[in-house]
């Protein structure tokens, strides 16, 4: 039988930060190697395995860059800070020339010292606070859009001027509270457009404080002993991203199921439909059963379902060895359930990978490759029987990049084009 032009479907599991390094506590195994994963192992045994570098061997990437490469982009061409990705994540469409930043509602005192970078992780009323700032005019021509995101987060967009993303953050970063509010500066003193941009950002910050400090909602928070959300801190400046829709490029219907706004934002940029739910927490308490059900259902009317889980990365950052093992085992159960309940299982591909490695011993992302698998019809099965960093390194896919892995999945799905005649 010839496949011809028929498109085959695929489910692609992305375990964030899945790759690890050997642990003394596990007699030299990694968390993934030590976990009991009969279902992931069966997928590996049925498929072709390999290892994957997000960009290139030895290059560390963030979750944003890791997913850009996994979804078919070259981040060197498209990446300009996290702001535009967050804007896509909340569904705010940037116009040409817009500058986007990630923001937090935060708490400062009268001397402008930062008491809480997240205003007590405020959740309620943030739409009202954002709306009090949204549409602010600066310098006559520039409009500021302020769009609420999850919890204390907002997206801040400057529109109507000539901007540069080469500016520093109005945010001391996680764990650095207590000091004076930093001002935005151009990354080099003689960058004129960046100087103008950082001035605007500083004006916005001051205005946000002037407006929010007397907002009735903050009056209430003070009365109930909660830190007032009396300023917006911003970071991750980036100019609007113009990217080709990957879904359009390959003429596929793809769906991304995730809790994390960064992943959802990149999926939207790529032209994928996104599915999320308040119980998809981008953490270890996410509702894996519901994700599985969403995936099975989504596959009925789409070509590719991308299923992202974040817990593996969260637990790696915390160096929680046994927590990571337990979470991987839950993901294993989820995949077992998906495989069992997939319609047309025999005709569907299962791909597994991650956006980068996060060895718990390092406590942050590393440049190590990520184990990958592609199983399904016609795949050149190798003799690897377990899903792990070292078993997959011996597999038939050898060592490829995230872009190359994504394209290989699409190629088996039969949606790629021929280069040449």
Interface positions with its own copies (CB under 8 A): 1-4, 21-22, 28, 30, 51, 55-66, 68, 75, 79, 81-82, 236, 319, 359-368, 378-382, 389-390, 393-394, 396-401, 403-411, 414, 416-421
* 354-to-53, 307, 342 alpha-carbon distances in Å: 10, 11, 22
Q: Which residues pair with 163 in a beta bridge?
A: none
Closest CB to its own copies among 106 and 413? 413
Residues in the chain: 421
Query: At its nearest, how many Å lie between its own copies and the CB of residue 333?
Result: 26
Closest CB to its own copies among 74 and 341? 74
Query: At its nearest, how many Å lie between its own copies and the CB of residue 214?
Result: 33
Closest CB to its own copies among 184 and 408? 408
Query: At its nearest, how many Å lie between its own copies and the CB of residue 257?
Result: 22
Closest CB to its own copies among 15 and 403? 403
Count the Cβ atoms, other than its own, within 10 Å of residue 46: 16
Closest CB to its own copies among 146 and 402? 402
Closest CB to its own copies among 291 and 365? 365
Between CA 56 and CA 49 the distance in angstroms is 18
Closest CB to its own copies among 111 and 188? 188
Query: At its nearest, how many Å lie between its own copies and the CB of residue 341?
Result: 25
Largest CA distance in the chain: 75
DSSP-based three-state secondary structure for 45: helix
Characterize the bridge pairing of strands 231-239 and 153-159: unpaired
Query: At its nearest, how many Å lie between its own copies and the CB of residue 3?
Result: 5
Closest CB to its own copies among 303 and 389? 389
Closest CB to its own copies among 196 and 260? 260
Please enumerate in sequence order all residues whose Cβ is within 8 A of that of 62, keeping only pairs 6 or more positions apart, or say none.
82, 356, 365
Query: At its nearest, how many Å lie between its own copies and the CB of residue 399?
Result: 4
Can you give the C-alpha Rg of the chain in angstroms?
23
DSSP-based three-state secondary structure for 381: coil
Between CA 225 and CA 243 the distance in angstroms is 46
Q: Which stretches of 214-361 are DSSP H helices?
A: 216-223, 246-250, 261-269, 288-300, 311-317, 321-341
Query: At its nearest, how many Å lie between its own copies and the CB of residue 410?
Result: 7
Between CA 257 and CA 296 the distance in angstroms is 11
Query: At its nearest, how many Å lie between its own copies and the CB of residue 196?
Result: 24
CB 412 within 8 A of CB 374: yes
Distance separating the N- and C-terminal Cα atoms of the chain? 24
Closest CB to its own copies among 22 and 125? 22
DSSP-based three-state secondary structure for 352: strand
Between CA 235 and CA 201 the distance in angstroms is 10
Residue 331, phi then psi, degrees to nearest 5: -60, -40
Angle among Cα 77, 80, 86 to the nearest 5 degrees reads 120
């Amino acid at each position: 039988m010839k496949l011809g032009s028929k498109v085959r479907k695929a489910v692609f599991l992305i375990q964030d930060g899945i790759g690890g390094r050997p642990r003394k506590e596990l007699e030299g195994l990694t968390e993934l190697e030590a976990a009991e994963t009969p279902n992931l192992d069966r997928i590996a045994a049925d498929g072709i395995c390999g290892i994957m570098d997000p960009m290139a061997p030895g290059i560390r990437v963030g979750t944003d860059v890791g997913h850009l490469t996994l979804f078919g982009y070259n981040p060197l061409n498209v990446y300009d800070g996290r702001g535009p990705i967050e804007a896509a994540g909340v569904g705010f469409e940037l116009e040409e020339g817009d500058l986007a930043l990630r923001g937090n509602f935060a708490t400062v005192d009268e001397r402008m010292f930062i008491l809480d970078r997240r205003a007590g992780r405020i959740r309620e009323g943030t739409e009202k606070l954002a709306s009090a700032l949204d549409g602010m005019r600066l310098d006559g021509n520039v409009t500021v859009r302020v769009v609420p995101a999850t919890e204390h987060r907002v997206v801040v967009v400057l529109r109507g001027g000539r901007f540069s993303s080469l500016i520093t953050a109005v945010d001391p970063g996680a764990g650095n509270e207590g000091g004076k509010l930093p001002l935005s500066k151009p990354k080099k003193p003689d960058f004129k457009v960046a100087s103008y941009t950082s001035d605007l950002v500083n004006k916005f910050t001051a205005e946000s404080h002037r407006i929010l400090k007397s907002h009735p909602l903050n009056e209430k928070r003070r009365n109930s002993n909660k830190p007032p959300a009396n300023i917006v801190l911003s970071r991750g400046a980036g100019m609007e991203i113009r990217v080709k829709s990957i879904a359009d490029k390959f003429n596929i219907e793809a769906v991304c199921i995730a809790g994390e706004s960064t992943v959802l934002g990149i999926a939207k940029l790529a032209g994928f439909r996104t599915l999320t739910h308040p119980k998809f927490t981008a953490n270890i308490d996410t509702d894996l059963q519901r994700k599985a059900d969403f995936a099975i259902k989504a596959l009925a009317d789409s070509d590719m379902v991308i299923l992202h889980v974040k817990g593996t990365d969260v637990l790696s950052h915390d160096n929680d060895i046994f927590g990571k093992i337990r979470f991987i085992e839950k993901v294993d159960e989820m995949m077992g359930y998906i495989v069992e309940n997939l319609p047309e299982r025999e005709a569907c591909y299962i791909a597994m990978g991650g956006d980068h490695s996060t060895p718990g011993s390092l406590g942050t992302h590393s440049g190590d490759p990520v184990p990958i698998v592609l199983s399904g019809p016609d795949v050149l099965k190798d003799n690897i029987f377990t899903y792990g960093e070292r078993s997959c390194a011996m597999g038939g896919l050898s060592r490829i990049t995230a872009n190359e892995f994504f394209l290989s999945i699409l190629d088996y799905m039969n949606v790629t084009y021929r280069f040449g005649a």
